Amino acid sequence: MKLLLIGLDGVRVDVALPQALTMHRGFEEPDHPTDPRFAAGERPAGAPTMPSPALSTATPAPTLARLLDGGCVLPVWMTPPTDSGPGWASLLTGTRHEENNVWWNEFVGHRLARTPDILSRIYFANPSARTFAASTWDALVDPSGPGPVFHQRVDQQVGGQHQLMKASDFSEGCRSADTQVRGHAAWVLNHEGPDAAFVYFEDVDEAGHQHGAASAEYREAITRVDEHVRHLVKAVSERYEQLDEEWLVAVVTDHGHKPEGGHGEDEVDVRRSFLLLHHIGPADVADDLRTRASGVPSLRSEEVTPLLLDLLGAQSGSWDPHHDVGRVRDVATVGPTRNLEYEW
């Protein structure tokens, strides 16, 4: 089974997939408390409220709704700060902020070299694996950006086993960049079928910042990004149709948005994320996946990567637990003891 993981930045599940909220009790409230350092401040006077769902009759995300039909959805509760950097670093590496040291979008002092991303974990599990990542946000894939979250693995890039693509067409902001990412990603997925792929879109987050989550523009951006998702799912679905390749399609977001726009703190609507899972392949395998996933309680962001690796059957190697792997220790510059037992 191959993996297509799609990252949609800043999508409120209650706007994109309101029906999901009634499908899992874990959506009701956060599963863990937050650090008071990242508590929400006062809302500005005159801030808008979210429109009633009854007023929004059209389905904003028909592809996500179709993926949920026959798939399943799990609540994911982000740990503040709910900025994109810490969110994606945690989601994509399976580590907490304290482990990867990504607290802001500047990534200053990050430890991502020690916290390999999900694609690298799959490569480590099997060095034959071919991996691919495409992103509108350079911090995820570009070594000259603030991250990157995805390891470069230059040797694998030379050998065509690992491909990284970043958007360059920002003539219409994230909207044009996302379209560029979609076109490239759909081609690679359809023709090359990498064993594991991550594709990221940013249009919704940009609309959230500019207009707020209560706006029509925010819903419209969700619809545009949903169409990108449809292209990617179509690309891998054709591979199942023609080549019998099975695919696990997963969709996740890093945070919601306030009605007036913005994120970063601990509001429930900002912390609430989701993991949408859909198996493309024989019906009995899809049933099995749904059964396995339905027993999963709500997730924290750092639990998404381990769950996906488990569903794929990718297992990492390990050291003797008594070996303090990675710890840096230096010898004291005290000169020899002259005990010949230590001299060679």
Please select the residue that binds Zn ion; options are 84, 163, 298, 305, rule is CB under 5 A: 84
Check residue 107 and give left, alpha or beta (phi > 0: left; psi -120 to 50: alpha).
left
Residue type, 82: T
The phi, psi pair for 272, rounded to 5°, reads -75, 120
Q: Which stretch binds Zn ion (CB under 5 A): 54-62, 76-84, 120-128, 292-300?
A: 76-84
How many amino acids of this chain bind Zn ion (CB under 5 A)? 5
- 197 close to 162: Cβ distance less than 8 angstroms: no
Residues 331, 337, 340, 342, Cα dihedral to 10° = -10
Q: Could you tell me the smallest distance in angstroms from the CB atom of residue 9 to Zn ion?
A: 4
Find how far residue 61's CA is from the centre of its chain. 18
Q: Which is closer to Zn ion, CB of 112 or CB of 311?
A: 112
Q: Which is closer to Zn ion, CB of 116 or CB of 262?
A: 262
> Which two structure tokens, joined as six digits, stand for 184?
């490239």
Q: Could you tell me the smallest distance in angstroms from the CB atom of residue 255 to Zn ion?
A: 5
Q: Could you tell me the smallest distance in angstroms from the CB atom of residue 92 to Zn ion?
A: 12
- 74 close to 20: Cβ distance less than 8 angstroms: no
End-to-end C-alpha distance for the chain, whole angstroms: 52
Interface positions, 1-20, toward Zn ion (CB under 5 A): 9-10
Q: Which is closer to Zn ion, CB of 71 or CB of 147?
A: 147
Using CB under 5 A as the criterion, what x/- string covers residues 226-255 for binding Zn ion?
----------------------------x-
Residue nearest to Zn ion (CB): 84
User: According to the binding rule CB under 5 A, does residue 203 interact with Zn ion?
Assistant: no
- Which residue, chain included where needed, has tokens 């079928």? 193
Q: Which residues bind Zn ion (CB under 5 A)?
A: 9-10, 84, 205, 254
